[in-house]
C-alpha cells in the first residue's frame, strides 16, 4: 500500500515540514509561502493548492491550530504541542540521515 | 459604452482522460489572441474580447472551498475566474508558481475524487440491478402490477445512459492517482 497519510507514519513530507517550521510563530496564508521561500533562499516554493490542502491536513491531524484573532480576515495558524513534537522527531530523523551519509561520503577525501 | 464581444467554445471534458490540460492550453491560446475566459457554460467556456495576454490557466478540485481558499490563490497571483461544481478555474501571468508544488497533495485530491466517482458508479449499478429485478419480478409473479415493472425497466435503462458520466471520470482520476504516486516515488 502506498503511504497516503503523511502524518500517521510520524514522518512529514517536505512541504509539511516547511509549513510547520513557518508556524513555530503564528503566521497566515500567503505569508507562510513567503516565509518558506525566504528561509530556503527561494529553493522551496509552495503553490496555493498545495498550501491549502496541506494546512487542512495539518489542522485535521491537530499539528496546527487556528489562532483566534479578529484583526485579520485571513486565518492565522500556530503549531500545537503535537506538531512541535513531530517536527522535532522529524528534524532528528533527517539529521541522523545526514550523519549516516557523512560517514560514507566525507570519510574518503573530506568533502562530498 | 461599447458592446462586449463574446465567443463560446466547447470543452474537451475536464474530468475525462488528460483533457483538462487540453482545455487549459486551449484557453491560453485564446488569451494570446485576446479572448479571455469569463465563465463556464453548459458545454464549455464563455470568452470575452479584451487585450491579448500571456496567461496560464489552472483548474483545482475542492469540495468545500471557503473564503481562505480563494484568498490564498488570489494572494499568490492566481486570479479566480469561475467554478463548476467542485472544479475551480484560475488564471495567472506566465512564470507564476504553479498551484501544486508537491505530489502528495495531488495524490490526496485524486484519491478523493476517484473514490467519490466509484461510489456514484456503484450506486447507479445497484439501482439498475434493483430496477431489473423488480421488472423481472413483475413478469413472473401474477399479482404484481406489470405497470410498475414497465416503469422500472424504463427508469433503469435511462439510468444506464448516465453511467458513463460517473464511470469515465472514475477511470481518469484513477489513472491520474496512479501517475501521481509514481511521480512521488521518482522524487526519492
pLDDT per residue rounded down to tens, chain A (112 residues)? 344 455 456 789 999 999 999 999 999 888 999 999 999 999 999 999 999 999 999 999 999 999 876 665 678 999 999 999 999 999 999 999 999 999 999 866 555 5
What pLDDT sits at residue A71? 63
Task: Name every chain B residue with its beta carbon within 8 A of the beta carbon of A29.
Answer: 68, 71-72, 75
Kindly state whether residue B71 falls inside one of the protein's structural domains: yes
> Is residue B45 located within the same domain as residue B115?
no
> Is residue B79 located within the same domain as residue B115?
no
Kindly state whether residue B87 falls inside one of the protein's structural domains: yes
> Is residue B88 located within the same domain as residue B17?
yes
Mutate to test the interface with B, among A48, A56, A60 (most CBs of B within 10 A): A48
Residue B4's CB is within 10 A of a number of other CB atoms, namely 9
Question: Is the CB of A49 inside 8 Å of chain B's CB atoms?
Answer: yes
Determine how β-strand B35-41 pairs with β-strand B6-10. unpaired
Kindly state whether residue B20 falls inside one of the protein's structural domains: yes
> Is residue B81 located within the same domain as residue B141?
no
Is the sign of the CA dihedral A73, A46, A64, B116 positive or negative? positive
Region A14-105: CATH code = 1.10.10.10
Question: Is the CB of A4 inside 8 Å of chain B's CB atoms?
Answer: yes
What pLDDT sits at residue A8? 53
Facing A15 at nearest CB: one of B67, B78, B102: B102
Task: Name every chain A residue with its beta carbon within 8 A of the beta carbon of B88.
Answer: none
Q: In angstroms, what separates the C-alpha of A81 from chain B's closest C-alpha?
A: 24
> Is residue B80 located within the same domain as residue B113?
no
Q: Where are the domains of chain A?
A: 14-105
Kindly state whether residue B1 falls inside one of the protein's structural domains: no
What is the ipTM for the molecules in this complex? 0.84
Task: Name every chain A residue with its beta carbon within 8 A of the beta carbon of B75.
Answer: 29-30, 48
C-alpha pair distances (Å), A23 with each of A80, A82, A87, A91 = 9, 13, 11, 15
> Is residue B82 located within the same domain as residue B134?
no
Q: In angstroms, what separates the C-alpha of A75 from chain B's closest C-alpha?
A: 7
Amino acid at each position: 500500500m502506498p503511504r497516503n497519510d503523511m502524518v500517521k507514519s510520524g514522518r512529514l513530507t517536505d512541504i509539511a515540514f516547511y509549513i510547520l517550521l513557518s508556524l513555530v510563530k503564528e503566521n497566515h496564508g500567503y505569508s507562510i509561502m513567503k516565509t518558506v521561500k525566504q528561509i530556503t533562499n527561494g529553493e522551496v516554493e509552495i503553490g496555493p493548492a498545495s498550501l491549502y490542502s496541506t494546512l487542512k491536513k495539518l489542522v485535521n491531524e491537530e499539528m496546527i491550530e487556528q489562532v483566534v484573532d479578529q484583526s485579520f480576515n485571513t486565518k492565522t495558524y500556530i503549531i500545537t504541542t503535537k506538531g512541535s513534537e513531530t517536527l522535532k522527531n522529524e528534524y532528528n530523523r533527517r539529521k541522523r540521515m545526514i550523519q549516516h551519509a557523512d560517514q560514507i561520503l566525507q570519510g574518503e577525501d573530506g568533502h562530498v | 459604452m461599447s458592446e462586449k464581444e463574446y465567443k463560446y467554445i466547447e470543452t474537451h471534458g475536464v474530468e475525462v482522460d488528460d483533457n483538462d490540460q487540453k482545455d487549459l492550453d486551449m484557453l491560453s491560446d485564446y488569451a494570446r489572441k485576446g479572448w479571455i475566459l469569463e465563465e463556464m457554460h453548459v458545454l464549455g467556456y464563455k470568452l470575452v474580447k479584451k487585450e491579448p495576454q500571456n496567461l496560464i490557466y489552472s483548474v483545482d478540485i475542492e469540495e468545500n472551498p471557503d473564503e481562505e481558499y480563494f484568498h490564498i490563490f488570489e494572494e499568490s497571483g492566481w486570479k479566480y475566474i469561475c467554478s463548476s461544481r467542485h472544479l475551480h478555474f484560475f488564471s495567472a501571468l506566465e512564470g507564476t508558481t504553479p498551484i501544486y508544488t508537491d505530489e502528495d497533495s495531488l495524490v490526496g485530491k485524486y484519491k478523493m475524487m476517484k473514490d467519490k466517482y466509484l461510489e456514484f458508479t456503484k450506486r447507479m449499478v445497484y439501482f439498475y440491478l434493483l430496477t431489473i429485478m423488480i421488472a423481472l419480478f413483475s413478469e413472473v409473479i401474477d399479482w404484481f402490477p406489470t405497470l410498475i415493472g414497465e416503469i422500472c425497466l424504463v427508469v433503469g435503462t435511462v439510468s444506464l445512459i448516465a453511467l458513463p458520466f460517473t464511470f469515465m471520470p472514475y477511470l481518469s482520476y484513477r489513472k491520474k492517482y496512479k501517475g501521481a504516486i509514481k511521480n512521488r516515488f521518482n522524487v526519492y
